[in-house]
Structure 1
Amino acid sequence: MFYIADLHTHSHYAGATSKSLNLETLYQWALIKGIDVVSTGDFTHPAWLKELQEKLQPAGNGFYTLKRLPPLNVLPGIKASERTIYFCLSVEVSCEYMINNRKYRTHQLIYAKDFEAVHYINTALSKYGNLTLDGRPSLQLQSHELFKIVLDIPRAYFVPAHVWTPWCSSIGAMEGHDSLSDCFKDVATELFAIETSLSADPLMCRQYDELDGLTLLSNSDAHSPRNLGREVNLLKTELGYDAMFNAFKTKQGFAGTYELFPQKGKCYNTGHRDCGVSIDADKITGNICAVCGKPLTIGVSHRVQQLANCKAVKENIQPFKYVLPLPEIFAELLNIKSDTPLHTVSVAKAYTKAIAYFGNEFDILHKVALEDIQRYYPKLATAINRLRNNEKQAVAGYDGIYGRINFFNEYELNEKQKQLALFG
């Protein structure tokens, strides 16, 4: 069967996350977005683990479901197509260590099939850090040493997280290694997948030959429930834990990803946010801010160029399609300037009606026929058509500032603004 999985999320116990990030809100946003499998995140945190054990029940396929389903009330009046939402036990951990007086900090994802495996993982990791301090625990442990621990635990899997981001990643420019083999040493050959990051896509990844043969996973890394599904993985296989990871390992049944436009990511360009400096990768002449003299944050596009050692061959690029959160598309259509468009009444109203009409967000972005959207809302059909054909204008993100994606120029929007008649 075909299903969609978002395998990097957090709970409200992780730093810099929403207080509303819990199983119930993840369930509701999975319905709205059209996601079938959602990771739990943070299973190393004792309080969150207790909540997981109290609220989840085995689904018989290595995933879990909620014992009590919440009402769909995260947005007033929201309605979505019914589906079963499964949860996959997961955690992101931070490995922090020094080698030759250089500090490394890398984030890694760990998955478990059941709570027994979680127990073994938590017992092992508790020797290297205080698991009660954060849902994303910091461990005094090198990346390859963590990987070896996970390899020895049955039914557990390991995936390097957002490997291209400048900070907190295995090969990132600021705190990472210069190769996967340097990061993971004698167990590097055991890797079967990596998570790319919001600021990278498969076209970029295939310029670096160490990623050849690895499955390129994409996830939301959601720090709030509304950010669920910014990127997801597509599968055509039996819906279950073992089948899913077998698809990642063999590529049989792995159908690709939905990718956020990488320019939208907040780490795409090199730059310095304090000075408003953003530099395209092909225009960089150094790593110092010309305004203040402080170090620039090296962006993903530049980092890819630094490590690139081959030309991406079309046949080697795994399937993917671009996506942009539907509220951001409505914000452009309604001429709303906001970093949180769903907080505005007009965008929330348009989004709620569209979900009720078509069932879920991913169906609107890539499945619903354009003529059906055209009958519903002509301008939305134009935007969706341009999304599906990668016809966009982009202002790239940098140094923690998200980029902007537009499907219309100002003339088009201003000329047609008076003609917009939402939903008939």
Structure 2
Amino acid sequence: MPYICDLHIHSKYSRACSKELTLENIDKWAKLKGIDIIGTGDFTHPAWFNDIENQLEEAKSGLYKFKGSDSGTLFMLTTELSCIYKQGGKARRLHICILAPNIDFVKKLIKELKDRGCNLAADGRPIIGLSAKELLKICLEIDENHLTIPAHAWTPWFAIFGSKSGFDSIEECYEELSEYIYSIETGLSSDPLMNRRLSKLDNITLISNSDAHSLPNLGREANVFDLQEASFKKIFEIIKDQDKKKFLYTIEFFPEEGMYHFDGHRECKISFSPAETKKRQGVCPQCKKLLTIGVLNRVDNLADRTTDKIDEKRIIPYKSLIPLQEIIADSLNVGKQSKKVQGEYFNLINKGKSEFNILLNLSGGDLNNITSGKISEGIMRVREGRVKLTPGFDGQYGKIEIFSLAEKSIDLQSKLF
């Protein structure tokens, strides 16, 4: 049975995150989205961990449910930690996801971090003065059957391969403990095919998660596992073993939509492909400051093969999608926060069971029965990859055009006359 899993999100206690991110709301929105298993996020934060202990109860082995809820949503105990330290004569900044097998693991990790002077109450994603390797060692000593996963692996800042403060390999970062890194999170600005250009990642399982800072962003990336019986152990084994039979596919952003796909300088509105950056010697032509080197360029620098040399039969498949609210907004040519979009979104969810069911499963005919022909066409175009992409850069999201300006102009004229 396919389980859609989003294993990296945040709570209301994380910086720049919505105050609506409560366990009760996450439980409700996971059902709207069609997410079967969702991370708790932020389990090291004392107030959030108190909520976890009081509001969740174990439903499956290592998986939890919101007390009194009949949503069917399962929670996995997860967090993200910010490791800032020096290694190899360079400042390193890495975000690391921890997927925990049980409450006991969480309690022991919290104690170990507190004993080392970490201020866990400062933020849902706290900064800890430990190296990524030290953190892994602590977690392994508590229980080897957990998952330590470098988050959004290619983001320029705060990532294992980031151009600003990362490493060139997992081995450079984790040294003799590298064998315990079974997986990396690809992040919004890269997709699995880009990552598979590095042969040294062949034995690393690529996962995708939303890293959501608000409820509507839950599930914007996710993983789909075939589970006969849901449990932490089963998911751990699928990821550890890169089980291609049970890891059905990942759900992805179009990487161009991510904030760091291209190189650039946001203040000067400069966006460059890797080839253009090379011509400019990495310098912004407007202000002469160094450009922020994006994910595509960084992949180019570390890759040892081209896309055509990848054996796609050996990799876990993926599907690129756009969140339903964005599709509705582009179809109606209005902002996604507008009442019109919000009304149609919940109307569609009510009729189509869940967002993922609508985006992945309903036929064109079924879609036409529950929404306008324009929105139905937009969903089918996204499903087929028929979209125009303008890459994001230097912290600015990319733009995706489902309907051209000419098509939108025709629609506007038809409304006027």
TM category (shorter chain) comes to: over 0.9
Q: For residues 409 and 345 of structure 2, what CA distance do their matches in structure 1 show?
A: 21
Whether contact under 8 Å (1:4, 1:232) holds in the other structure is yes
Aligned to 1:142: 131
Whether contact under 8 Å (1:206, 1:316) holds in the other structure is no
Aligned to 1:288: 283
Q: For residues 322 and 109 of structure 1, what CA distance do their matches in structure 2 show?
A: 23
Q: For residues 419 and 30 of structure 1, what CA distance do their matches in structure 2 show?
A: 38
Match of 1:190 among 170, 180, 187: 180
| 2:50 equivalent to 1:57 | no
Aligned to 2:99: 111
Aligned to 1:77: none
Q: Cα distance, 1:128 vs. partner?
A: 4.8
Residues 280-338 of structure 1: per-residue CA shift (max 9 Å, x gap): 123212222111122211111111111111134122332100110111111111111x3
Give the residue type in structure 1 aligned to 2:345: Y
Whether contact under 8 Å (1:108, 1:158) holds in the other structure is yes
Whether contact under 8 Å (2:60, 2:230) holds in the other structure is no
Q: For residues 362 and 100 of structure 2, what CA distance do their matches in structure 1 show?
A: 35
Whether contact under 8 Å (2:146, 2:236) holds in the other structure is no
Q: From the superposition, tell whether residues 85 and 412 of structure 1 become closer, same or farther in structure 2 (CA, over 3 Å).
A: same
Q: Cα distance, 1:417 vs. partner?
A: 4.4
Q: Cα distance, 1:416 vs. partner?
A: 3.5
Q: For residues 412 and 39 of structure 2, what CA distance do their matches in structure 1 show?
A: 41
Paired residues for 1:268-347 under 5 Å: 268-285=261-278, 286-312=281-307, 313=310, 314-336=312-334, 338=335, 341=336, 343-347=337-341
Paired residues for 1:12-161 under 5 Å: 12-69=12-69, 83-126=71-114, 127-154=116-143, 155-161=145-151
Whether contact under 8 Å (1:151, 1:157) holds in the other structure is no
Q: For residues 417 and 25 of structure 1, what CA distance do their matches in structure 2 show?
A: 37
Aligned to 1:369: 363
| 2:200 equivalent to 1:210 | yes
Identify the range of structure 1 (95-104 vs 157-166) with the bigger mean alpha-carbon deviation: 95-104
Identify the range of structure 1 (272-281 vs 309-318) with the bigger mean alpha-carbon deviation: 309-318
Q: Cα distance, 1:279 vs. partner?
A: 0.7
Q: For residues 101 and 271 of structure 2, what CA distance do their matches in structure 1 show?
A: 43
Residues 366-397 of structure 1: per-residue CA shift (max 9 Å, x gap): 10111111333222222222111111101111
Q: Cα distance, 1:418 vs. partner?
A: 6.0
Residues 152-188 of structure 1: per-residue CA shift (max 9 Å, x gap): 2224221111101111001110111111110111111
Q: Cα distance, 1:100 vs. partner?
A: 4.4
Identify the range of structure 1 (145-154 vs 408-417) with the bigger mean alpha-carbon deviation: 408-417
Q: From the superposition, tell whether residues 419 and 113 of structure 1 become closer, same or farther in structure 2 (CA, over 3 Å).
A: farther
> What is the DSSP-based 3-state SS (H/G/I as helix, E as strand, rest coil) of the residue aligned with 2:224?
strand
Q: For residues 355 and 173 of structure 1, what CA distance do their matches in structure 2 show?
A: 40
> What is the DSSP-based 3-state SS (H/G/I as helix, E as strand, rest coil) of the residue aligned with 1:194?
strand
Give the residue type in structure 1 aligned to 2:213: H
CA RMSD of aligned residues (A): 1.5
Q: For residues 231 and 100 of structure 1, what CA distance do their matches in structure 2 show?
A: 33
Whether contact under 8 Å (2:188, 2:255) holds in the other structure is yes
Match of 1:167 among 141, 147, 157: 157
Deviation above 3 Å: which 4+ runs of structure 1?
416-420
Residues 132-171 of structure 1: per-residue CA shift (max 9 Å, x gap): 2111111111111211221222242211111011110011
Match of 1:254 among 226, 247, 250: 247
> What is the DSSP-based 3-state SS (H/G/I as helix, E as strand, rest coil) of the residue aligned with 2:84?
strand
Q: For residues 194 and 122 of structure 1, what CA distance do their matches in structure 2 show?
A: 23
Whether contact under 8 Å (1:206, 1:311) holds in the other structure is no
Q: For residues 88 and 8 of structure 2, what CA distance do their matches in structure 1 show?
A: 31
> What is the DSSP-based 3-state SS (H/G/I as helix, E as strand, rest coil) of the residue aligned with 1:104?
strand
Structure 1, unmatched stretches of 5+, are: 70-81
Residues 315-368 of structure 1: per-residue CA shift (max 9 Å, x gap): 2332100110111111111111x3xx1x21111111111111111111111101
Aligned to 1:406: 401
Give the residue type in structure 2 aligned to 1:90: T
Match of 1:392 among 387, 392, 408: 387
Q: For residues 314 and 393 of structure 2, what CA distance do their matches in structure 1 show?
A: 28
> What is the DSSP-based 3-state SS (H/G/I as helix, E as strand, rest coil) of the residue aligned with 1:59?
strand
Whether contact under 8 Å (2:84, 2:128) holds in the other structure is yes
Q: Cα distance, 1:83 vs. partner?
A: 4.2
Q: For residues 89 and 138 of structure 1, what CA distance do their matches in structure 2 show?
A: 19
Whether contact under 8 Å (1:207, 1:308) holds in the other structure is yes
Paired residues for 1:232-247 under 5 Å: 232-237=222-227, 238-247=229-238
Aligned to 1:383: 378
TM-score (norm 1): 0.92
Q: Cα distance, 1:208 vs. partner?
A: 1.1
Q: For residues 271 and 117 of structure 2, what CA distance do their matches in structure 1 show?
A: 38
Identify the range of structure 1 (367-376 vs 295-304) with the bigger mean alpha-carbon deviation: 367-376
Aligned to 2:167: 177
Identity percentage of aligned residues = 38
Q: For residues 192 and 63 of structure 1, what CA distance do their matches in structure 2 show?
A: 21
Give the residue type in structure 1 aligned to 2:384: N
Whether contact under 8 Å (1:55, 1:68) holds in the other structure is no
Give the residue type in structure 1 aligned to 2:265: H
Whether contact under 8 Å (1:36, 1:83) holds in the other structure is no
Structure 2, unmatched stretches of 5+, are: none
Q: For residues 121 and 95 of structure 1, what CA distance do their matches in structure 2 show?
A: 15
Aligned residues: 404
Q: Cα distance, 1:415 vs. partner?
A: 2.0
Give the residue type in structure 1 aligned to 2:247: F
> What is the DSSP-based 3-state SS (H/G/I as helix, E as strand, rest coil) of the residue aligned with 2:142?
coil
Q: Cα distance, 1:404 vs. partner?
A: 1.0
